[in-house]
Amino acid sequence: MESRKVLSSLCYFSIFFAGFLFPLVVYFASGDEVTKEHAKKSLLSHVLPIVLTPLAIVAFAIDFANFDNQFPVLFIVSLIVLAIIWVVVIIWNVIKGVKVLVAE
């Protein structure tokens, strides 16, 4: 098996063990353009949910700043959207990692 395929697929699978650190290291350490492209794509997909997570914290602050005993709708909706984004990103990374690994 080619090391290019293994490194590229590990960039996608690193969402389970190294977050955005592994694709970042592979991007700067690799000299292969195909591997760099996969590292960049996986890095962007790893960072997307991390950037969106503070929005749920802001929604929490907005909802609970109003002490009028309302149901925290904004917070609940933002958590549901964030959970959906995390699941989609994980599934996308697994699919891309497998496709890269088994591609000819």
Q: Flag whether pLDDT at 62 surpasses 90.
A: no
Q: Flag whether pLDDT at 65 surpasses 90.
A: no
Instruction: Round the average pLDDT of the chain to a whole number and report it.
Output: 86
Domain boundaries, the chain: 3-102
Which pair of tokens denotes residue 6? 């293994």
Instruction: Please report the sign of the dihedral spanned by the C-alpha atoms of residue 18, residue 21, residue 24, residue 26.
Output: negative
C-alpha Rg value of the chain to the nearest Å? 18
Predicted model pTM: 0.82
Total count of residues recorded for the chain = 104
63 vs 23, which has greater pLDDT? 23
pLDDT digits (tens, 9 = 90+) for 39-48: 999 999 999 8
